Chain A
Amino acid sequence: MAELLLEIRSEEIPARMQARAADDLKRLVSDGLKAAGLAFAGARAFATPRRLTLVIDGLPAARADVSEERRGPRVGAPDNAIQGFLKGAGLSSLDQAEKRDTGKGEFWFAVIRKKGGPTADVLPGVIEAAMKALPWPKSMKWGSGTLQWVRPLQGIIALFEGKALSGRVEPGGKMAPVVFGNTTRGHRFLSRGEITVTGFADYEAKLAAAHVVLDPAARRKTILEGAHRLAQEAQVALKDDEGLVEEVTGLVEWPVPLLGTIDAQFMDVPPEVLIVSMKTHLRQFVTTRPDGTLANRFVVVANTIARDGGKTIVEGNERVLRARLSDAKFFWDQDRKVRLEDRVAALKGVVFHAKLGTQAERVQRIAALATAVADCVPGAAKAEVMMAAELCKADLVSGMVGEFPELQGIMGRYYALHEKLPAAVADAIGDHYAPAGPNDRCPSAPVSMAVALADKLDALTSFWSIGEKPTGSRDPYALRRAALGVIRIVVENKLRLPLSRFFKQADLLDFFAERLKVQMRDKGVRHDVIDAVFALGGEDDLVRLLARVEALQSFLGTEAGKNLLTAYGRAANIVRAEERKDKTLAARIAGAPDVALLELGEEKAVASALAEVERTVKPALQKEDFAGAMQALAGLRAPIDAFFDKVTVNVQDKPDLRLNRLKLLNQIRATMDAVAAFSKIEG
């Protein structure tokens, strides 16, 4: 059993693409091997910034010959059928095929013999095909070539049983081919010259000696352990940041965590500002003190062993951070000299959208909406809602948000606290953009909820009014996110907010319904249950709507629910079938059946059960006791079953009786449909 080692070396691969590319390479080569009839014991893939590596164990050294039979058309079949068969089987004429009697007549058969042979003959083709198929999120050409790869290719190791395979990749143009070989290079700065390898174990060991840690998991471990140790030694704690670890792992071949210090003069700048600078802009790890507040140390992961032990690198990082933070501190100091209230006027100069006016106009709309919304938010003091709404966009014209747009809202909150405005107002300014997505934190304080809802409702209604609605993948104003934000705030805080009080556009309510459906589907609610409740229409209270969905879903999970659904189906099917035959029927069977025409006990039983249900369901629905309403419906099941056992609906000679019975069935349907559109439920 033999080993295949493949290394595709290139200029620096973007960190975010490495893991996926290694997986794709493994999958594509594995599939190629299987398609070529080559079994193997295992495959492992690795990525560093400069290479994708794949090792496959347990491949056979050679494949046996295989023959495959293919049945063709009947002897004497039309010529195009014969030609198709020959082409498909790779034959040039019928002389190469044989006739065989299958018992159902004479058919042409082709016997295709696939020559076996050394595995090494097949592998180059498998590798080339996998490279061609590898789906980089973005790829490029280079030099005078036409080949696409994530960054320029530099070399390929393709070793089978320790010997280089015969193969090459042509970049095209006037570029030299990249020939399969057995050499690679180590770390960009810590290694010189070529490294010749004989197999994976040798390769991995020689790379390690050349300062390349091949396995991302091992780099990650070094980063985390080193960073935690450095933090511990400085008596601070590393702030966990999965995304940053992942990214940094893809930026280094030889990780060297180093500890730096934040200049003391910046420590009174809000932590969010420091974090944005360190993490987002410089990929530095933040640390915290035992009380959870930001510590004055950071960890940076270098990609080299410096002669001075990293002193220059740390100083450089501190210097870059200092430059960034001195900008930030300048803004922090300057911004606090101007009250938020005094910034509001400047919003007149900031265009929100050409057709929707300035941010100042938007703020006025938000303020009006927020006070109206506040009526539906228990505990939201109007004066505070008003103040927060009027100030919520003021930080957009502050220096800090100009420089760090991702701090909008957050800075407004700090400036409000600095001015000693009520905490609820400051928090509402800070919270009003939330939630920014399905996993973002959702506001729960009353003033925050009112302003956050108003912010989103204004965006939705305003863009709706100028015809800017999301279509397909185009949603430039993030209106889907805004609608989802409204849904989350309302649902998670159980707010009773009649949406149609805040806008008149009917299709906007449909848009909310659509978003809510998507959200519920993602949470695993049955789509037919959702449809059954939404089909009732006209519901603009999301909490009530969801309560009904939940009640229906759990009712349908019970025996009583399932049986009732069957009974409903029988009734509805008969009515539907008759309605199809006679277009005038629907109008004639609307309304209650004539009691005088009820003949049989089973009919009367259904009628009285319906009357009973009518009595209990209505008040239950009014009390929003949906579970109760559904329990009441369950009482219909036994009389309906008995009815179908004994009563013939379509009595031929008595049209009045037939019509009355259809009325009865139709009433079953109508009564149940008032609770949910049971016809939408899949049995």
Chain B
Amino acid sequence: MSKPAKPQCFQDLILTLQEYWAGQGCLILQPYDMEMGAGTFHTATTLRALGPKPWYAAYVQPSRRPADGRYGENPNRLQHYYQFQAILKPSPTDILERYLGSLAAIGIDTGLHDIRFVEDDWESPTLGAWGLGWEVWCDSMEITQFTYFQGVGGMEVDMVAGEVTYGLERLAMYLFDKKTVYELPFNSPTSEVPLLYGDVFLQNEQEQSAYNFEHADTDMLFRHFVDAEKECARMLQLELPLPAYEQCIKASHTFNLLDARRVISVTERQSYILRVRDLAKACCEAWLATQRTPTQPSPSGGGQGGGA
């Protein structure tokens, strides 16, 4: 089956980007199976950005920002949305040309549109990560965040990763000229069962907004935060950075939920961010230690068991 020359719906956009970045030598990974605020939290970015080993990957990451929920009433604000992320480490010298190639692939014709690179340095206080780069504007709309990673987990990187992040819904609204995200065609309007973004996600936005703002059990969340913090420390003791990092992701999302419930004051907020950052930092350090050892433990024998 051949794909149309230009994406016609939301899923085409994803498929086109995947195909394009696969053609650039990227692994096509699947989303990380945990709630996280952005694609950057995926181990394929945060952890792989550290250490001396080259790494090219691209993936879609469902991103959760509980405080951005609008009960499905705001046309372009969602508490659950998709980011498409490509990470190329070390950043190749023609990375911007490759990125511009992806715009051509999704149907943005630079003979008709105005593409500008506007300074935007990126920082994630919770990950202790920072980088320099741009917002890429198409006709004054931000369509991509482009970042050269300089540090992660409070440490300077050995080798710089170029990170390209597309906010898929916003980009799709622009490409398909829709005023509201809920009217985006998710699959092809000519398919047997044509569905809109709203058909798939409107109810989710309504219910999850109610959860995020009204019903999330804050006592439970406070407990979960502390539990994740403890479990993270325990896994680090056992020198298991990957399970430890998952607890860090959990703590971060729990904090975001508590923040949406507005039970954390301005000053407490800062201290929670620092607590998550301490976890991220420790996980990154532990991960880095495994990357610098010359020999990796070889996988033990045995087949892959089925899930529970």
On whether the two chains bind one another, the answer is yes
Contacts from A to B (Cβ < 8 Å): 11-12, 14-16, 49, 138, 140-145, 151-152, 154, 173-176, 188-189, 251-252, 282-284, 300, 302-304, 306-308, 312-313, 315-317, 319-323, 326-327, 330, 349, 351-355
- Which among A12, A15, A143, A312 is the interface contact of B139 at CB below 8 angstroms? A312
- Residues of chain B in range 76-111 having any CB-CB distance to chain A below 8 Å: 76, 90-93, 96, 110-111
In the bound complex, CA of A327 to CA of B148 (Å): 32
Residues A143 and B115 in contact, CB atoms below 8 Å apart: no
- Which of A143, A252, A300, A354 is B160 in contact with, Cβ under 8 Å? A143
The answer to whether B265 and A300 touch across the interface, beta carbons within 8 angstroms, is no
Report chain B residues within 8 Å CB of A14. 119
A608, B262: Cα distance in complex, Å: 75
Chain A CB within 10 A, most for which of B76, B112, B115, B267 = B112
Q: Tell me the smallest distance from the CB of B134 to a CB of chain A, in Å.
A: 6
Interchain CA distance A14-B148 in the complex, whole Å: 14
Q: Contact check, B119 vs A16: say whether CB atoms are below 8 A apart.
A: yes
Least CB distance from A369 to B in Å reads 22
A-B contact sample (14 more), CB < 8 A, given A140-B150, A307-B112: A138-B121, A143-B91, A303-B115, A304-B114, A313-B112, A313-B113, A316-B114, A317-B140, A319-B177, A320-B141, A323-B173, A326-B75, A349-B262, A354-B266
Q: Is B91 within 8 A of A152, CB to CB? A: yes
Contacts of B110 in A (CB 8 A): 189, 304
> Could you name 29 residue pairs across A and B whose Cβ atoms are closer than 8 Å?
A14-B119, A140-B131, A140-B132, A140-B148, A140-B160, A141-B150, A141-B160, A142-B91, A142-B148, A143-B92, A143-B93, A151-B132, A152-B93, A188-B115, A300-B140, A304-B110, A306-B113, A306-B114, A312-B113, A313-B112, A316-B113, A316-B114, A316-B139, A319-B174, A320-B141, A322-B179, A330-B74, A349-B262, A353-B267
**Which residues from A are CB-within-8-Å of B111?**
189, 306-307
**Residues of chain A contacted by B6 (CB below 8 angstroms):** none
B159 within 8 A of A: yes
- Name the residue among A12, A317, A355 with the largest chain B CB count within 10 angstroms: A12
The distance in angstroms between the C-alpha atoms of A108 and B138, with both chains bound, is: 71
Are A144 and B90 in contact, CB atoms less than 8 angstroms apart? yes
With both chains docked as a complex, state the minimum distance between the C-beta of A151 and any C-beta of chain B, in angstroms.
7
- Residue in B closest to A144 when the chains form the complex, CB atoms: B90
Q: Which residue of A lies closest to B162 (CB)?
A: A142
**Cβ of B134 and Cβ of A12 under 8 Å apart?**
yes
With A140-B160, A152-B93 as contacts: A282 and B76 at CB distance below 8 Å = no
Indicate if the CB atoms of A323 and B93 lie closer than 8 Å.
no
Q: What are the 6 A-B residue pairs with the smallest beta carbon separation, nearest first?
A: A316-B139, A14-B119, A12-B117, A302-B114, A351-B265, A354-B267
Instruction: Please report the C-alpha to C-alpha distance between residue A355 and residue B162 in the assembled complex, in whole angstroms.
Output: 42
Least CB distance, A32 to chain B, in whole angstroms: 27
CB distance from A316 to the nearest CB of B (A): 3
Give the residues in chain A near B121, CB-CB below 8 Å.
Answer: 138
Q: Which residue of A lies closest to B121 (CB)?
A: A138
* Residue from the list A174, A316, A327 in contact with B141, Cβ < 8 A: A316
By the criterion CB–CB under 8 Å, are B118 and A138 in contact? no
Query: In the docked arrangement, what's the CA distance between A143 and B90, Å?
Result: 4
B163 to chain A, nearest CB (A): 12
Q: How far is the CA of A316 from the CA of B110 in the complex (A)?
A: 13
Query: Across the interface, do B179 and A313 meet the contact criterion of CB distance under 8 Å?
Result: no
Q: Which residue of B lies closest to A251 (CB)?
A: B116
- A353 to B74, alpha carbons, bound, how many Å? 30
User: Which of A49, A154, A251, A322 is within 8 Å of B93, CB to CB?
Assistant: A154
B268 interface contact, C-beta 8 A: yes
B112, A308: Cβ atoms closer than 8 Å: yes
CB <8 Å contact, A320 and B139: yes
Residues of chain B lying within 8 A (CB to CB) of residue A327: 74, 76
Which single residue of chain A is at the shortest CB-CB distance from B134?
A12
Most A-side CB within 10 Å, residue of B91, B115, B119, B134: B119
Expressed in whole angstroms, the Cα–Cα distance for A353 and B119 within the complex equals 32
Given contacts A144-B159, A327-B74, contact A284 B140 (CB under 8 A): yes
Inter-chain contact A173/B179, CB cutoff 8 Å: no
Whether the Cβ atoms of B115 and A189 lie closer than 8 Å is: yes
Contact in complex: A320, B140 (CB < 8 Å): yes
Scan residues 110-155 of chain B and give those whose CB is less than 8 A from a CB of chain A. Answer: 110-119, 121, 131-132, 134, 138-141, 148, 150
- B-side contacts of A189, CB under 8 Å: 110-111, 115
Give the distance in Å from the alpha carbon of A282 to the alpha carbon of B262 in the complex: 31
Q: Is the CB of A316 within 8 A of B140?
A: yes
Distance, CA A154 to CA B94, complexed state (A): 9
CB–CB B267/A323 < 8 A: no
Closest A residue by C-beta to B132? A140
Q: Collect the chain A residues with CB atoms within 8 Å of residue B119's CB.
A: 12, 14-16
Contact of A173 among B148, B159, B162 (CB under 8 A): B159
Q: Which of B91, B117, B267 has the most CB of A within 10 A?
A: B117
User: For residue B160, which residue of chain A has the nearest CB?
Assistant: A142
A599 to B90, CA, bound (A): 95
Q: How far is the CA of A233 from the CA of B235 in the complex (A)?
A: 69
CA distance in complex: A316, B173 (Å): 12
Q: Taking the nearest CB of chain B, how far is it from the CB of A426, in angstroms?
A: 28
A16 to B119, CA, bound (A): 9
A303 touches B150 (CB 8 A): no
- Bound state CA distance, A335 and B92, in angstroms? 49
CB distance from B58 to the nearest CB of A (A): 19
The docked-state distance in angstroms from the alpha carbon of A283 to that of B139 is 11
- Return chain A residues, CB-CB under 8 Å to B116: 251-252, 303
Minimum CB distance partner of A358 in chain B:
B265
| Distance between Cα atoms of A595 and B138 in the complex (Å) | 91
Say whether A317 contacts B139, CB under 8 Å.
yes
Q: Which of B74, B112, B138, B268 contacts A306 (CB 8 A)?
A: B112
A354 and B113 contacting across the interface, CB-CB below 8 Å: no
Contact B140 A283 (CB under 8 A): yes
Q: Are A313 and B114 in contact (CB under 8 A)?
A: yes
Residues on B with C-beta less than 8 A from A282 are 140
A353 and B117 contacting across the interface, CB-CB below 8 Å: no
| Chain A residues within an 8 Å CB radius of B131 | 140
> Which residue of chain B is the closest to A349 with respect to CB atoms?
B262
CB distance from B293 to the nearest CB of A (A): 20
In Å, the complex CA distance between A14 and B174 comes to: 25
- Shortest distance between the CB of A590 and any CB in chain B (Å): 52
Bound CA span A154–B92, Å: 11
Residues of B within 8 A of A138 (CB): 121, 132
**Once bound together, how far apart are the Cα atoms of A323 and B141, in whole Å?**
10
A628 CB to nearest B CB, Å = 52
Question: In the complex where A303-B116, A307-B111, A355-B267 touch, is A173 in contact with B90 (Cβ < 8 A)?
Answer: yes
